[in-house]
Amino acid sequence: MKKERLVILGGGESGVGTALLAKSKGYDVFVSDKGKIKEKYKDVLLNNEIEFEDEQHTESKILNADIIMKSPGIPDKVALVKQIREKGIKVVSEIEFASKFSEATLVAITGSNGKTTTATLTHHVLKQELDVGLAGNIGDSFAKQILEKNHDNYVLEISSFQLDDIIDFKPKIAVLTNITPDHLDRYDYKFENYIASKFRVVENQTEEDYFIYDADDEVILDYMKTHQIQSKKLPFSLTKKIDEGAYLDNNNIIITIDNNKIIMPTDNLALEGKHNVKNAMAASTVAHLLKIRKQTIRESLENFQGVEHRLEHVLKINKVQYINDSKATNVNATYFALESMDAPTVWIVGGVDKGNEYRELFKFVNEKVKAIICLGVDNAKLMESFENMVDVIIETQYMSEAVKIAYKLANAGDNVLLSPACASFDLFENYEDRGRQFKNAVRNL
């Protein structure tokens, strides 16, 4: 019998992980990357005798596939992807392909913001008592973990791009942290397309599965008014009393599932800010569902270290606190960052604008921001939006220079906040590179 041919577009973490899993399951595998494949991934492909190409796509070797796994970074608008779709070849994402080979309990976490923190926090709580992997957009690929570790449970951080290419993917527990306009360039600048994409996380769920979501998010509530969701709903809220799900009452998180109630004080939560109370609610609801002991949940929430590049306190120099929030790649993430500032702030912002609307930041800029440093190739929109709000607004294209300017502008007791509200690809490799350059520049002051 002829082997099924799987072609993988993209030789990064998810692509190479999928290649390894597919080869072990008897597929004929070919990896193709338009860019350069990193040496560490090339070595893995060579050592495992998996055929690959980089810096090109050979159509004859791609269009003869039975199934194609494409990297979430490749948009559907690309000519090659259009050809693949026209030929009717099945296109899947890594999570779709890999989940077929796992019997594990899957917790899928998506949302415009907070998904990395919520996924990392959920994993941190669960791993105290369960065998659990963390994958999706974080760490080692899901496919590779199924091949090498095959955990009983997985927490998956999932982007809308990964959800766009699912067919049967069905998590036991789905979490939707929030929906705000993001990546609209990939969704024909139609917010409703992006919303529908996020909700695909529940599309295959049945009444035996669970859906945990933010009941304070109007976008989510509006969608649910007109779309039927099969799974059992467990909302969380900071403002409403919730019978089944989680809510806040006098600094306590109250979680009720099937008349089983637990109370978690928020006074000692490791992460500060209202948005992190929500992340804690989502994580502890998952933990409660999976029968983690109350004491374990509480201790885990109190000793969690947070996520790199997400409101990460770097150093205090001359009584000025430097904060790395490079992971804030959209306006809503920066909204939370500015909201949590408790001192006059020098704000470093800018990068690739994804169709941003800055108006929601105005009140915090007026209240808390003393100076703005625009760090991007094109800062025109930022300058236009904010120049009348602050006394000092400066442009630069170098992180080291941005940090030196901030050092001069900040006084004792102030904050210097890198929270770009934009993607990083104009000046940096990715948001991690941007965050690391910020931290290095601060340490070199």
Buried b (16+ CB within 10 A) or exposed e, 7-16: bbbbbbbbbb
Q: What residues does 232 pair with on adjacent strands?
A: 210
Are 141 and 239 part of one and the same domain? Answer: yes
| Angstrom distance (rounded) from CA 262 to CA 287 | 11
Burial class (CB in 10 A: 0-12, 13-18, 19+), 342: exposed
In 115-240, where does DSSP find H-type helix? 115-126, 142-148, 160-164, 191-199, 218-226
Q: Is the dihedral of CA 50, 56, 58, 62 positive or negative?
A: positive
Are 293 and 320 part of one and the same domain? Answer: no
Are 354 and 426 part of one and the same domain? Answer: yes
**Domain CATH for 111:** 3.40.1190.10
Spatial contact of 326 and 309, defined as CB atoms under 8 Å apart: yes
The answer for residues whose C-beta is within 8 angstroms of residue 365's C-beta and 6 or more apart is: 338, 347, 372, 386, 389, 390
**How many independent structural domains does the chain possess?**
3
| Angstrom distance (rounded) from CA 73 to CA 79 | 14
Question: What does the CA dihedral 437, 438, 443, 444 come to, rounded to 10 degrees?
Answer: 70
| Token duo for residue 93 | 């994402």
* Binding-site residue ranges: 111-117
Q: How many residues does the chain have?
A: 445
* CA–CA distances in Å: residue 216 to residues 177, 194, 236, 246: 10, 19, 8, 12
SS3 146: helix
Are 111 and 248 part of one and the same domain? Answer: yes
Are 232 and 135 part of one and the same domain? Answer: yes
Spatial contact of 442 and 315, defined as CB atoms under 8 Å apart: yes
Are 288 and 168 part of one and the same domain? Answer: yes
Give pLDDT tens digits along the chain (445 positions): 789 999 999 999 999 999 999 999 999 999 999 999 999 999 999 999 999 999 999 999 999 999 999 998 888 888 999 999 999 999 999 999 999 999 999 999 999 888 889 999 999 999 999 999 999 988 889 999 999 999 999 999 999 889 999 999 999 999 999 998 776 777 778 788 888 989 999 999 999 999 999 999 999 999 999 999 999 999 999 999 999 999 999 889 999 998 899 998 888 888 777 888 999 999 999 999 999 999 999 999 999 877 889 889 999 999 999 999 999 998 988 998 999 899 999 999 999 887 788 999 999 999 999 999 999 988 999 999 999 999 999 999 999 999 999 999 999 999 999 999 998 888 998 999 999 999 999 999 9
Are 159 and 47 part of one and the same domain? Answer: no
Last residue of a domain, one of 92, 121, 141: 92
Last residue of a domain, one of 76, 92, 108: 92
Phi (first) and psi of residue 211, to 5 degrees: -125, 115
Are 261 and 362 part of one and the same domain? Answer: no
Max CA separation in the chain (angstroms): 73
Query: What percent helix, strand, coil does the chain show, rounded to 5?
Result: 35, 25, 40
Extract long-range pairs of 322-325: CB within 8 Å, 24+ residues apart.
322/403, 322/406, 322/415, 322/416, 322/438, 322/442, 323/415, 323/416, 323/417, 323/418, 323/419, 324/418, 324/435, 324/438, 324/439, 325/417, 325/418, 325/419, 325/420
Are 85 and 101 part of one and the same domain? Answer: no
Spatial contact of 352 and 381, defined as CB atoms under 8 Å apart: no
| Token duo for residue 365 | 């800029």
**Domain CATH for 74:** 3.40.50.720
Are 87 and 101 part of one and the same domain? Answer: no
**Domain CATH for 431:** 3.90.190.20
Last residue of a domain, one of 38, 64, 92: 92
* Binding-site residue ranges for ATP: 111-117
> Is this model's pTM higher than 0.85 or not?
no
Single-letter amino acid code for the residue at 354: K
Are 50 and 136 part of one and the same domain? Answer: no
Are 181 and 233 part of one and the same domain? Answer: yes
* CA–CA distances in Å: residue 206 to residues 170, 180, 245, 246, 253: 9, 26, 18, 21, 27
| Angstrom distance (rounded) from CA 105 to CA 107 | 7
User: What pLDDT shows up at residue 188?
Assistant: 74
- For residue 353, give its domain range: 312-444
User: What pLDDT shows up at residue 169?
Assistant: 96
